[in-house]
Structure 1
Amino acid sequence: MVYRFIVFTLMLFWTVAYCSDDVIISNYKLPKNNALEVYEKTKDLELLKTLFEQTNDFESIEIKDNKIFLEKKPTLKTLNISGNKSFWKSEIKAITGLNENYTFDTSLLQTIPLRIRQFYADKGFLFTTVDITSNYTPDGYATINLKINEGKKTKLNDIIFLSDQSISELDRITFLKVLKLKKGDYLYFDEIEKKIENLLSFLRKGGYYDAFVNLQDIEQVNENYANLYVAINFGTKYTVNFKGNKAFNENELRKLLTLEENGFNHYQLNKSKENIIEFYKGQGFLDVDVSYEVSESEDLYQGLYSLFSIININIEEGQRYKVDKLEVKTDTPGIMDGVKKILSNYYNQRELKEFLEKREEDFYSKGYLSVNYSIKENVKDNGLVDVEISFYKGKQYILTKINQENYKTKIEVKLPKIYDPKEIVEIQKTLKKSLQEDGFLDGDVLLNVITQEKEDKVEVIADFVYEKGSIYKNGITFIYGSNYLNPKVVKWQLREKDTFDSKVVDVAINRLYDSRLFDYINPVFLKNEEEKVLDKALILHDDKRGLLQGSVGYSTDQQFKVSAALILKNLFSYGLESSIYLERSNFQTNYRLSFGSRLLPYGLTSFISPYKNIQYRRYFNLSSQGFDFFIEKFHNKFVRLRITFESKDSSLDKLTLPSPVKSYSQFKISLSLTDDHRNSKIDPKKGYLFISKISKSFKDIDYYSGELSLRLYSEFFNYLVFSPRFSTGYIFKNNNTLPISERYFLGGISSLRGFGIDEVAGEKGIGGNSFILINNDLRFLVYPKYNIYLLTFYDLGNVYTDFKEYKSHKFRKTAGIGIYVPTPAGSLILDYAKKLDRKPGESGYRIEFSIGLDF
């Protein structure tokens, strides 16, 4: 504390370098923020204090003399860990809770050695020691050193029992068997605690309901061995005797006692008594009477223990009743047969209730909301009972219509359907959330359920009434946390309107994440209910500015594929990015240098990339070099529009098909639209992905072209996903005048399965100026734990040389089965595809495999 006080005092003299106009005074330099801009706009220090509090970066924030004083937590620059021979540094780092380049609370350092020792103790190192030291620089950066002396894994030397009563050698041997420990066993602290619990459970089963067992001490004998001291407080020995029980044995009745779990007291005795009575009555003993008595003895118990208590439970069973008259009133077939089966022998009240309750739950889940049952008993003196059962399921409730008043939100509910009150309440919560996301932050949604009774059912109308209130205006936006990015760039992403719109914020956050500049983004909303204004805070934390990525994959199309990329991010504090990308596979060699930004104003992204690409195709090799430049516009988190300019020079060699030219220059303009409504990018089960592109090629190659692709995803029964895809493309140019590298070919694991890459070249075998491809996938989730799907598919497709062929769309057809495992690092795909229209000279099937990446 003295050190921190000295540092804070010194830093007060340096705050002029860290603030403007002496309004914000901090002991350490702050990351980039727009706090002064917020203050100039609002002149509200209380608001500024609230905003700084959202960052969790400060130990104290005070307002004094029209200034705000910040005591910033230190930032961890380096965490040095030594001595960890048995575990990775990442494991130790996770235990500390410390992250480099993040601020931390210095008071937490005191608990770190304890947490690490506990971790080691659970792994068998009971005598590990940990030393922690820390050094701080004047500008608030800390270096923390952790020195670990693991010692050796600890083995058991002996167990010493400490008790309020003497323990015989025979009992000691028994206790050791219960603990399942012997000399030389490795000791794991978390397992020791479980073994102690097992011993306590054993003692309580033996009648020591008040027993208490704990690990008193661990004594280190030498470097490898230790003694365990186990303290046992036996308390009173209880013996439970059952008297009068003829129908059921003691083992069945002991299961009804609550003494083992909860200890001995009169409340537990009464609870046990009630359980026994309920059990007997459930088995037809309607006149059962149960009482208990407790007596203590000072006599020796088996010559070992001086104090024990006897609990006598007296049971007067009475008669076991049979059903004399049975009357069942019901509108439900099957109830009578089930009841008769249960009551065919003795009157079993418990089983009867369980049967009726289960049927009641089943019908309720199917929309019979008024289902109910009752049981009336008339007990006679001769051991007989008359039973009257009433079970009515009533009418089924069907949700037929959903109305929305004063506002409208899209609801994905297929009507009519079984009415479920819980589902309607969840819809109400969703509508309220949607209303608030649209800026009506005080809004509410009221629910009015209207029923209309018909002959065989009850129709339900759910009427949702919106109480919107006032829409909130956008207030200030506080931006804090980046050490490199200018806050102005973050504000560009918000494109704020006068009124609050959560969709704008969602798009901004998605863009910030997609920029790969941050590993942490926390949006905070501060609501001013009086003025109907919403202030926002975006708390950021930078990721590494440089990134080296590499990947390795394999597919039967490209065989091995290796790629590497060096990325430099957030250049010049404006989010600019530069990267070098290298790729090599049996299909192509690709070199690309890119420069641009993902965080331009107006939701734009733009990159320019010179490149060189060599493709090794089935019918030719293609070498291209040039550059492309694109501008992409994000309209919302689903839709983006991209315009691309490309200029390249290409040359062909190793041709096995004729081509009108072997080298050409090309300038191409493309406009593409992507609408991605998939519910997951890795493993989509609902939604769709639509991609369309129109292009114009100039210079040596002159043509227009258009392509589109639509893939749908539908899930059934929570384990089956149907995913059809339709793709087509058309080049408005005579096929014979197109270089072979500009023509369409199909085939491969991501195209027309069952054919090799480029194998489908059309009826004339020369490629085409158009194509149609239809994929139909049906995935079955067979192993949810590892997200493993069984896949069956049916593909159709071909390429065409003119519009007449395109209109006739004669298809090649394949079908097959496979295994599909989607992962964030790329999918694993193994499939067997069979040609359904095999031609002479073609193989009949193809086994395809891809791992690591989606090619």
Structure 2
Amino acid sequence: MKIKIKLLFILFFIYFAKAEERIISNYPLPKNNGEEILRITNDLNYVANLFELTNDFEKIEIKEDKIFLTRKPFLKSIDIKGNKSFWKDEIAGITGLRINSALDSESLKTIPLRIRQFYAEKGYLFANASISTKFDENGNAFVRLNIDEGKKVKLNDVIFLSDQKISEEDKNQLLKVLNLKKGDIIYFDKLQESIEKLNEYLKNNGYFESFVVLQDIEQVDNNFANIYILIDLGSRYFINFAGNNSFDSKQLMNLLTFKENGFNYNELDLSKENLINFYKSNGFLDVDIITQIEEQEENQGSAERPYIKINFNINEGKRYKVDKIFIDTDYEEIKSEISKFAGNFYDKNKLLSYLQEQEKKLYENGYISASYKVEEIKDENRLTLKVEFKKGKKYILKEIKQKNHSVKKDFKLPKIYNPQELLDLQDEFKEKVREDGYLDAEVLLQTDLIENNDRIDVIATYDYNLGQRYRNGLTFVYGSFHLSPNVISKQFPKKEYFEKENFDVSMSRLYESRLFDYVNPLLLPQEERKTVDKAIFVHDDKRGLVQGSVGYSTDQQFKASVAVILRNLFDYGYEFSTYVERSNFQTNYRLSLGNRLFKWNLSGFASTFLFNQYHRDYDLKSSGYDLFLEKRNNRWVKSNFRLERKYNVITNEGIFTPLKNYKVITASFGLTDDHRNNRINPSSGYYGILNFKTTFGDVNYQSLEGSFRYYKEFLDFFIFSQRFSTGYSFKSTNALPLAERYFLGGIANMRGFGFEELSGEQKIGGNSYLLINNDLRFPIYQKYNLYILTFLDLGNVYTKSNEYRNPYFRKTAGIGIYVPTPAGSLIFDYAKKLDAKPNENKYRIEFSIGLDF
């Protein structure tokens, strides 16, 4: 009995010893799993380094088998006073401070300076700012920023301070360059630009060593100031060219280096060399230049000012014409062009430029050994050129082999050989195997050349040295105030080996969860253990959020919506939201509760809803609830399931409907594949949606809907996009209530037709439809993402199955302006029916903002 009690005591002691906290902080920490990782690894240094990566701590110490953290204060609030001319958010952005983030006390010291600089750039040169900080016992900091803006400052006078006397005439000229006059508002950044212009002006006038700087701004009264500008002129240099009969001095001046680098004898030699090369390239092969330096004085009023005169004495010599050209080449196409240089003054630059252009052209077409050489032979007064240009054989990439491993890749061979493409492919292969967990992998490239009569075949072999595959290691999570670290760590699947694609999918889910204002992931390969550890640093956004949007289209006219969202609930990331939408087309209410961070890459929401829709031929009121589940399969594909129960009431119908009041339960299964290179303004890739729906209750039927859109860029200018859409309900149209039928028309699908105007040959809607949208766009103002859009739409709604199998299309075309933005596209277009029928409007002017098409 005593032995059992003693054993029980030991077990309790071991348990509590293990549970003892070994990470001690001066202030409470954001939620993290540091203790858990320390229990797993028992490596104090490793865990201390993880906390070091957060940049939240002033000091980290290891002693007494524990980690002692000295946490920086967390900023709880910023109180800004005195900002009469600018928004608080704008001032807060300048401070660089973030609520609920670690506060670096050193950064506080520079904030008043940054505020004063911001105000100075806006014309408030004498604005003042002071900062004070209070701290509570939990390490929370409360910052107060007081700003005294003052008034915008106007110029009273500009005072030049110089090592040399500046006459009144010179002062007026300098003021003219500065573009400053009394009474102007002084903007600090523009003042700096003016001083740079003055510096450039002085160098252009021979003061190559001049130095101009803003010395001081003196407040004269409440809103006037004197500006003091220090000018160190140094020596003035005059450049004199003599003997330059063929080129003017201005042209030669551009070849000198004094403006950029100042004057010294090294720059003098370099400038002389530039002049000689310029002359020789223009046919003056015997040119000779002698430089001479003279120190002199010039009179200015009653004063004498020293200056330095630099003389370039040029003996141009004879300008040679090309007498004969001997061409040695296996590329006959260039002979006639080179022969044109004979009988003309020798222009070396032009000749070399032509040969370089031909060499580049051949290289791009597989002649990678193409080369040229030009020899100049002077014989008395004649110039003979020997031009050697060798094209060589064409290189063809015939085969690509992979050794010891294989990365799936389609190669269109044979093709023109380009060495850079093979190097890029080597990097791609290396990156791919490393993304698959072989972090030490190397890929060697070997090229074998097989010479034939008319070409050289290239066989490229990529030899993989994979090394040991890295396993998934530990995941350190730090930074949330509301979310359990386990929720985040469970987003990373417990697979044995590390794969970058799985990691990217997990990170996408964290980004898409919208629970954080930033997520910073780090991969930490452990070479000794051959594992990839991960550090995930997050920062919570506000738990409560109000979002609103306003849009307009010619179909729905004004549309406004607002959502109130509560996030990060119950320590597990649950989200509750209420959504209201109002437009001329519908009123929509929805309450939802769910989570975007369930295990197995799942997201799920349960909702209740009520909406009123006003259609072209009927009104619909629906109420009910639904359950929505979505799984991210990989970085491109998502699958979803929706179970919906609703009660529909149809009123004001202009078409017969078999049911006006009915209840249905709908289960739908969907797939989304998004391979677009950019979601806002894609230029390549594709986007596909497939959805199967089964409905039962008062109405029983199944339907299948799909949409596929691809993007193709060509000529580096045009972007062509085509969308194929279809829907088919496996039930007779006449047996379907109006709300279950298909209608087309409007800027979002069949442009040129009004909202739901396209309703089949019998004008009752349909049980199927086909739609083909063809878009061609090109930029006219790239800076503002402004595009011209042309389009051709083909589509129709079908009442019977044989109409769907043998479709007849209505056709529209148009032109418009398209501006993609993160908040939705702005579209303005003119659309015309190409097969307008009697009593139909032949064209429509359509406008939309905030509606993606």
TM range, smaller chain: over 0.9
Tell me how many residue pairs correspond in the alignment: 836
**Cα displacement string for residues 510-560 of structure 1 (whole angstroms, at most 9, x for unaligned residues):** 111111101111111111112211111111111111111111111121111
Q: Deviations over 1:376-424 (max 9, x none)?
A: 111122x211111122333444445443333333447655554433333
Aligned to 2:345: 346
Match of 2:830 among 826, 829, 832: 832
Matched with 2:295 is: 296
Of 615, 618, 640 in structure 1, the residue corresponding to residue 616 of structure 2 is 618
1:410-559 aligned at under 5 Å gives the runs 410-411=408-409, 415=413, 417-454=415-452, 457-559=455-557
The structural deviation recorded for 1:371 is 2.1
Match of 1:363 in 2: 362
Distance 1:745 1:309, change over 3 A: closer
Alpha-carbon separation, structure 2, partners of 1:227 and 1:73: 44
**1:787 corresponds to which residue?**
785
- Residue in 2 that maps onto 1:231: 230
CA gap 1:242/1:758 in 2 versus in 1, 3 angstroms: closer
The offset of 1:577, in angstroms, is 0.8
Residues 320-351 of structure 1: CA deviation (Å, up to 9, x unaligned): 22222222233445534433444533222233
Q: Which residue of 1 aligns with 2:403?
A: 405
Q: Is residue 2:92 matched to residue 1:87?
A: no
Which has the larger displacement, 695-704 or 394-403? 394-403
**1:668–1:698 contact (8 Å) kept in structure 2:** yes
| Contact 1:165-1:305 at 8 Å conserved across structures | no
* Amino acid paired to 1:282: S
- Structure 1 residues 322-331 or 218-227, which shifts more? 322-331
The letter of the residue matching 2:32 is N
Query: Equivalent residues in 2 for 1:57-456 (5 A)?
Result: 57-297=56-296, 304-332=303-331, 335-381=334-380, 383-411=381-409, 415=413, 417-454=415-452
The equivalent position to 1:811 in structure 2, one of 809, 812, 825, is 809
Tell me how far 1:298 sits from its aligned partner. Answer: 6.8
Match of 1:726 in 2: 724
- Supply the AA of the counterpart residue of 2:56: D
Q: Secondary structure at the match of 1:347?
A: coil
| TM-score of the pair, normalised by structure 1 | 0.94
Partner Cα separation in structure 1 for residue 602 and residue 154 of structure 2: 64
* Residue 271 of structure 1, CA deviation: 0.6
Structure 2 CA distance for partners of 1:171 and 1:693, relative to 1, 3 Å = closer
For 2:337, the aligned partner's letter is G
Partner of 1:854: 852
Residues 150 and 744 from structure 1, CA distance in 2 versus in 1: closer, same or farther, beyond 3 angstroms? same
Distance in 1 of aligned mates of 2:397 and 2:206: 57
Deviation at 1:659, TM superposition (A): 1.3
AA aligned opposite 2:123: G
Distance in 2 (CA, whole Å) between partners of 1:245 and 1:651 is: 94
Q: Counterpart of 1:11? A: none
Question: Could you tell me which residue of structure 2 aligns to residue 31 of structure 1?
Answer: 30
Residue of structure 2 aligned with 1:757, choices 747, 755, 758: 755
Flag the 1:726–1:309 CA change in 2: closer, same or farther, 3 A. Answer: closer
**TM-score normalised by L of structure 2:** 0.94
Structure 2 distance, partners of 1:332, 1:186, is 66
* Higher mean C-alpha deviation, range 153-162 or range 579-588: 153-162
Alignment of 1:677-826 (within 5 A): 677-826=675-824
- Of residues 96-105 and 839-848 in structure 1, the stretch that sits farther from structure 2 once superposed is 839-848
Report if the CA contact (8 A) 2:606-2:627 is conserved.
yes
Are 1:48 and 2:21 counterparts?
Answer: no
2:664 corresponding residue in structure 1: 666
CA distance, structure 1, for counterparts of residue 800 and residue 299 of structure 2: 106
Instruction: Report SS of the residue matched to 1:490.
Output: helix
Give the C-alpha shift of residue 458 in structure 1: 4.2
**Residue in 1 aligned with 2:6?**
none
SS of the residue aligned with 1:494?
coil
Change in Cα spacing, 1:386 to 1:765, as seen in structure 2 (3 Å) is same
- State which drifts further: 323-332 or 743-752: 323-332
In the alignment, is the contact (CA less than 8 A) between 1:726 and 1:774 conserved in 2? yes
Structure 1 stretch displaced more, 638-647 or 211-220: 211-220
Would the aligned equivalents of 1:342 and 1:351 in 2 still touch at CA under 8 Å? no
The AA in structure 2 aligned to 1:669 is A
Deviation at 1:205, TM superposition (A): 2.7
In 1, distance between residues paired with 2:157 and 2:534? 62
* Structure 1 equivalent of residue 587 of structure 2: 589
Percent identity between the two aligned chains: 53
The gaps in structure 1 that reach 5 residues or longer are 1-18
Paired letter, 1:710: F
SS in 1 for 2:803: helix
Structure 2, unaligned runs of 5 or more:
1-17
Distance, in Å, in 1 between the alignment partners of 2:833 and 2:298 is: 90
Secondary structure at 1:285's aligned position in 2?
coil
Instruction: Give the residue type in structure 1 aligned to 2:820.
Output: P
Contact 2:323 2:343 in 1 (8 A): no
8 Å CA contact 2:322, 2:341 repeated in 1: no
* Superposition RMSD in Å: 2.2
**Cα 1:696–1:389, aligned 2, differ >3 Å: closer, same or farther?**
same
SS in 2 for 1:307: strand
Report the equivalent of 2:605.
607
Q: Classify 1:231/1:684 alpha carbon distance in 2 versus 1 (closer, same or farther; 3 Å).
A: closer
SS at match of 2:757: coil
Deviations 1:8-47 (A, max 9, x none): xxxxxxxxxxx96241111111001111111111111111
Q: Quick check: 1:20–1:36 contact (8 Å CA) kept in 2?
A: no
Q: CA deviation at 1:466?
A: 2.2
What's the secondary structure of 1:675's corresponding residue?
strand
Label 1:249 to 1:780 Cα distance change in 2 as closer, same or farther (>3 A): closer
Q: What secondary structure is seen at the aligned counterpart in 1 of 2:720?
A: strand
Structure 1 residues 684 and 455, CA gap change in structure 2 (3 angstroms): farther
